[in-house]
Amino acid sequence: MTTSPLLSVRDLTVRYGAAQALFGISFEMPQNSALAVLGPNGAGKSTLARAVSGLVASSGGEVRLDDRDITKLSPTAIRRAGMVHLPEGRGIFPGLTVQENLRMALVVEKSAREGALDRAFEIFPVLGKRRRQQAGTLSGGEQQMLSLARALMVSPRLIIADEMSLGLAPLLVDVVFESLARARAAGVSVLMIEQFASRALAFSDHCLILQRGRVAWSGATDQAGDELLRGYLGEAAAA
């Protein structure tokens, strides 16, 4: 018996007006896996993440989630199909409490399950302790955690995590990675775009390196040695 990949991307192209950002990207993610998408600035990582989630329109190619063609679906329909893009554009509601933010996810998303709130506090005990605190007064890392917890309320199959640690202090970056690890442990797959290449590689099973809108290298993370990374990403990025 063959299991279809969780995510299958074929020949994906994206244009911003006259400028082409992605030139025929193809890759697959197996069920229950984590993929690190790396590459220098402007390589097309965020564009890829956004095109897969339906946030930017592709001009060619195909995206399949669990063997279902989602290429032309709206971002909302894609989210309902089980793929959540983080940090979400809508973000969290700073004036509401932690608990209200999580409940809101249940109201907005019809696919949310009973007991999801308890499960969220089980995965993120810190949020449980702060359930009555206004979300806007949480630390940066805790806000990312809340954003992730909101996404998990709807039991997604795949999280697209685009630079979740951007601008966070090192301790809070740890919080983000721990949170994503908890999501992984709960059976959620993760496609990660991350400035800290070594951390992303330690987290992931597979790695995709983009250069100028094309796949420059892909393989298992244990094959992505320092020399290879330096070659594609430069000294600083490989660190």
Q: Which residues bind ligand ATP (CB under 6 A)?
A: 16, 19, 21, 39, 41-47
Q: How far is the CB of 169 from ligand ATP (least distance, A)?
A: 20
Phi and psi angles of residue 67, each rounded to the nearest 5 degrees, phi first: 70, 10
Q: How far is the CB of 201 from ligand ATP (least distance, A)?
A: 16
Q: Residue 112 carries which DSSP code? A: P
Closer residue to ligand ATP, CB minimum distance, 50 or 150: 50
First to last CA, the chain: 41
Q: Which two tokens stand for residue 18?
A: 């006259």
Closer residue to ligand ATP, CB minimum distance, 51 or 102: 51
Q: How far is the CB of 7 from ligand ATP (least distance, A)?
A: 18
Phi and psi angles of residue 78, each rounded to the nearest 5 degrees, phi first: -65, -40
* Integer Cα distance of 79 and 94 in angstroms: 22
Strands 7-16 and 206-211: unpaired
Q: Which two tokens stand for residue 231?
A: 């070659």
* All residues at 6 or more sequence positions from 179 whose CB lies less than 8 Å from its CB, including other chains: 124, 144, 145, 148, 149
Q: How far is the CB of 40 from ligand ATP (least distance, A)?
A: 7
Q: Which two tokens stand for residue 217?
A: 């290298």
* All residues at 6 or more sequence positions from 137 whose CB lies less than 8 Å from its CB, including other chains: none
Q: How far is the CB of 47 from ligand ATP (least distance, A)?
A: 3
Closer residue to ligand ATP, CB minimum distance, 19 or 185: 19
Q: Residue 97 carries which DSSP code? A: B
Closer residue to ligand ATP, CB minimum distance, 46 or 139: 46
Closer residue to ligand ATP, CB minimum distance, 2 or 41: 41
Q: How far is the CB of 8 from ligand ATP (least distance, A)?
A: 20
Closer residue to ligand ATP, CB minimum distance, 104 or 166: 166
